[in-house]
Chain A
Amino acid sequence: MNQDKIKPDAIIPQASLIKTLLFILPMMFLTFAILTKGKLPSDPKSLFAIVITYLFINAIFFMLLYTGKTDRFRAIFFITYAVLFVVSFITHLIEIRGSMAVSQANMLQGETPFCHIVIPMTLIPLAFTRTIIFPGTIIGSFASIASMFVLWIGVTLALGRGFCSWGCFFGGLDDGFSRILKRPVIKNINFNWTYLPYAVLIAVVLTAAISLSPTYCAWLCPYKTVTEFVEVTSFKILMQTIIFVSLFIGLVIVLPILTRRRIQCGLFCPFGAFQSFTNRINVFEVRIDKEKCVKCKRCIQVCPTFSLSEEVWEKGKTRISCTKCGKCIDSCPKKAIFFHLKGTPLSGNQRIYRILFLYPAFLFLATIAGGTIQDGIVKIIRLITTGSMFIH
């Protein structure tokens, strides 16, 4: 078939069935070990959820390798993970606290789960005062500070800003909303807006260091709308609630739908800005072969985080904000964009580079998302069979 007539979004097997099965075998063993932790549950609901999760994860990985499409199948996993994270998290909170709202007593007891977005805000106070400015527990509890730091360091070394497309439990929400419309309603976005996350990062890091409190969490984090928030007991908290709910509606729902881009991740998230710098030390990158490129600009149009422009095309690589989601790679009709391992020749085998990236990235996603998806499925089964998601 003439290559020029093939639509870039068409699914054509890129590897033989046997080769693909051989490649997914290690992933099948690893995900089995991760999901079961060496022991199958006796509860039928949990067993069913494990089987479904296991099949889902490995089917996705199979399709990633078999079709050569990265973003198309990553997105299914990533969005499912984000939705079920919300289901699992909220039901968990309601079961143990009776509400999504965090009271002052909960905070004093260090019962607030720590999330990776707080990390940049904690570093300066940690260096100067040797305290973590967050009302969570250091070790041993659900989403403890130490576990999140260890997770972040590991992922940063392995994926850089790839974390935002292969691990962040919030990113799937605006990724999902950005795929609702077929075509964007808002097309022209001033490129200067891409600097806003760095400004938000500077503002929140400095205000957090000055006030010794996580200001982003208190004032701006839109994801509190679907996880937990401070109980409204004063005018100040009411204002904060209005702000973060508005930001959620605007940045995570409305603008991603209208622009078909990940607006919260690409134009606002301070953690994303912080994580962008780690792309410098990460071994994986996305490169452009300028000789193969026909300048159709599809990649620039589809990049969800504004990491491609004509200016960076000249350099043959993406901006440091690239989350390695693979959308540009999937959209390229000439296969001129590809995952690449720094320090190796650009003319090397692109498939090998891709597999070298996909293995750690997918394994990380499977590790972090597996338990959450499984728990979310259990809650949904409970809802169907008993009419309630909660254990009374």
Chain B
Amino acid sequence: MLGEGKGVVQNCAVIVQFLFGRLFGYLIFGVIAWGINRSILQAVGYREFIIGLAYVVLSIFLICYAFFRVRTSCVVQKLTGIIGRVKNTIPLFLPLFLGFFTGLSFCPPFLLALTSAADKGGLAQSILFFFMFFLGTSVFFIPAPFVGLLRSFSVMSTIGKMAAGLVGIYYLYSGIIMLVVGIKRI
């Protein structure tokens, strides 16, 4: 869409819509994570064990994702029918829908974020968590000429993977500690 040569202003509008779609999708997941906390995690007695185990497994995936080439499927690829219908009926809002669905990529960072948000107590904390996740994952969309360093996607990809590795190590440590506490309680 950006390559259609509509000009900077139109391209900015596309990017803004796209990012709003992503943000909206993530905020919904913030609410869902809070719901999981309220309904399931607070009801079971071995909460630390479940969260700790999820942290350990997902952070290992995240570290693998940082150091190895892993392909994750994007929800948009599975929804070509819906996207086609949106394109035909309300083409103006296509970037919004694309942003919403590309945000729902069930990759290790997303699943780890969901687990971490579910571990937070309140609704505001869950939403804030996903808002930060949105900010972190939207760095890729900062226009290259604006910052200069972010001149190529490969550089951003390297930085993103390194950051994922660091966050993965942090969550692995947190997960092991929670797991130990959880096992002791069982």
Interface of A toward B, CB cutoff 8 Å: 124, 128, 192, 195-196, 198-200, 202-203, 206-207, 209-210, 215, 219, 235-236, 239, 276-277, 280, 320
Contacts and interface: CB of A to CB of B under 8 A. Distances in A.
A25 B159 CA distance: 47
3 pairs of A and B residues whose beta carbons are closest in the complex: A199-B162, A199-B163, A203-B166
Contacts of B133: 206
B148 interface: yes
A198 B160 CA distance: 9
A199 B166 contact: yes
Given A199-B162, A320-B148, A206 B135 contact: yes
A202 B177 CA distance: 24
Nearest to B116: A210
A203 B158 contact: no
Contact of B128 (A202, A210, A236): A210
A239 B173 contact: yes
A206 B149 contact: no
Contact of A207 (B147, B161, B162, B167): B167
B128 A196 contact: no
Nearest to A201: B163
A200, A206, A235, most chain B CB atoms within 10 A = A206
B148 A280 contact: yes
Nearest to B177: A236
A320 B148 CA distance: 8
A203 B159 CA distance: 10
A203 B163 contact: yes
B132 A277 contact: no
Given A192-B158, A199-B161, A210-B132, 16 more contacts: A195-B158, A198-B149, A198-B162, A198-B163, A200-B163, A202-B139, A202-B159, A203-B167, A206-B132, A206-B133, A207-B167, A209-B128, A209-B132, A277-B149, A280-B147, A280-B148
Nearest to A208: B132
A124, A207, A236, A280, most chain B CB atoms within 10 A = A207
Nearest to B133: A206
A16 B139 CA distance: 52
